[in-house]
Amino acid sequence: MDHIIQAGGEVIINLRNPNAPVAQGTPNAAQTPQEHGNDPSPESQMSPEDEVLYMFRVQVSAQHLISASPVFKNLLPTDWEETYLQNGPVEITAEGWDLHAFLCFLFAIHNKGYRTPRNLETLAKVAVIAHYYECRSALDNMLGAWLPRLQVTPIRCSRDMILWVWISWFFHCPVHFNHSTSAVMTFYDNEIKDLGFPIPPRLIRALNKGRRKAIEFLLTSLSETLEDFEWGDMGCGHECRRIVCEHLTRWMKRNGLDPVPEAPFTNLSYNAIMGYLEAFQIGVCGCDESKFTIFAPYSDLEEDIGGLHLPLYD
């Protein structure tokens, strides 16, 4: 036996092809663990003899599996108790899960905190496993110990931000959800995707919509400001308007904002545009009126896009 979650447990889980990529596609809820897997790899194309060797056996409690997960309940034969008494532990198969994440998951549904997710990536994998086996609530007792060990604020890295969105949505963490969705919309410089995690499509659509609308507002305001100086009566006079127009046009071209980008705004983030605005210098004229007029539309803007509210996406 490779791992014992419950000594004397009535079930042996054979974890085949462990540590397969978890976010290259998501298990279909209608599949059994034996059917779930990624594209064929050298490991999955092994001969039957080698495949048996490339497997971990984990002893667990049938009652804990049944109590935690309807999927496990359906995997076990209805006469599992009789089978156990006559032939010993009942064997079922799981496929492809990360070994450490799978053990964290199994210890958790057995109410044992011996294994803790080491990092954000592992916790995201635990969440995928719990989602597949339909037993999120069985992990609630452990979540309070797991989350404080991780970085609370999403790092400005696209993948980590998506991991936090997935984790906070799945485990129903409203504060983390608000922070992580804000970070994704603010710092993402491309169309937001689920990276293979089972994030609801409508949540991904809401994130893309929030990012797109915020960027469109900034770009529209910049274009309108330029038009006001070019064709209106902004500034302190004709020469002031000419200087501001030339300087603002050069500034927009230098920062890739002229011609005005279009959705999905590839390689452009809300945070980047706000940074450009903060660094903008008015040029030769520099009168108070031109300064005020240029920056008035942005003076009340937050540096970050407001995050989403979890109850709307339950």
* pLDDT over 60 (residue 89): yes
Let me know whether 116 and 257 are in one domain. Answer: no
- Boundary (domain end) residue, out of 122, 150, 178: 150
Residue range 64-75: average pLDDT? 97
Q: Looking at the structure, do residues 142 and 184 belong to the same domain, yes or no?
A: no
- Does one domain contain both 166 and 313? yes
* Nearest of 128, 130, 101 to residue 116 by alpha carbon: 101
Q: What average pLDDT score do residues 270-279 get? A: 85
Same domain for 181 and 120? no
Closest CA to 72 of 117, 114, 105: 105
Reported pTM: 0.83
Give the end of a domain, one of 94, 115, 150.
150
Shared-domain flag, residues 286 and 182: yes
* CA-based nearest residue to 131, from 70, 184, 177: 70
Task: Name which residue leads in pLDDT, 285 or 207.
Answer: 207
For the chain, the domain total comes to 2
Query: Hey, what are 122's tokens?
Result: 């592992």
Judged against a pLDDT cut of 90, whether residue 156 lies above it is answered with no
First CA to last CA distance, the chain: 40
DSSP state, residue 260: P
Question: Is 206 found in the same domain as 136?
Answer: no
Residue 36: pLDDT above 70?
Answer: no
CA 270 and chain centroid, separation: 19
Do residues 59 and 12 lie in contact, with contact meaning Cβ atoms separated by under 8 Å? Answer: yes
Give the lowest-confidence range in 34-48, 51-65, 83-97, 269-283: 34-48
Residue 9 pLDDT greater than 60, yes or no = yes
Give yes or no: residues 120 and 179 share one domain.
no
Domain co-membership, 277 together with 178: yes
What CA–CA distances, in Å, run from 146 to 120, 127, 163, 173, 304?
A: 10, 12, 15, 13, 27
Residues 173 and 96 in one domain: no
pLDDT digits (tens, 9 = 90+) for 211-242: 999 999 999 988 888 887 777 767 677 777 78
Q: Does residue 43 carry a pLDDT above 80?
A: no
Strands 55-60 and 3-4: parallel
DSSP β-bridge partners for residue 59 = 4, 12
Query: How confident is residue 299, by pLDDT bands cut at 50, 70 and 90?
Result: low
pLDDT at position 290 is 57
Residue 66 belongs to domain spanning = 3-150
200 and 169 in a single domain? The answer is yes
Nearest alpha carbon to residue 167 among 112, 121, 113, 101: 121
Element (H, E) at 214: helix 201-231
Per-residue model confidence (pLDDT) at position 157: 74
| 293 and 191 in a common domain | yes
Reported as a single tens digit per residue, the pLDDT across 254-274 is: 889 989 999 999 999 999 998
Query: Over 90: is that where the pLDDT of 49 sits?
Result: no
Considering the chain, what percentage of its residues have pLDDT values greater than 70? 80
Residue 106, judged by CB atoms within 10 A of its CB (0-12, 13-18, 19+), counts as buried
Residue 61 sits in a domain of what CATH number?
A: 3.30.710
Read off the pLDDT of residues 114-144 as tens digits, 9 standing for 90 and up.
788 989 999 999 999 999 999 999 999 899 8
Return the closest-CA partner of residue 92 out of 105, 75, 109, 80: 75
In this model, does residue 62 exceed pLDDT 50? Answer: yes
User: What is the CA angle 129-132-133, rounded to 5?
Assistant: 90
Residue 192 structure tokens: 């937001």
Per-residue pLDDT tens digits for 174-198: 999 999 999 999 999 999 999 999 9
Query: Of the candidates 169, 151, 110, 189, which has an alpha carbon nearest to the alpha carbon of residue 312?
Result: 169
pLDDT reading at 14 higher than 90: yes
Q: Cα separation of 267 and 270, whole Å?
A: 10
Confidence band of 150 (pLDDT split at 50, 70, 90)? confident
The band of 284, judged by pLDDT with boundaries at 50, 70 and 90, is low
The reply to whether 146 and 287 lie within a common domain is no
pLDDT in the model for residue 28: 33
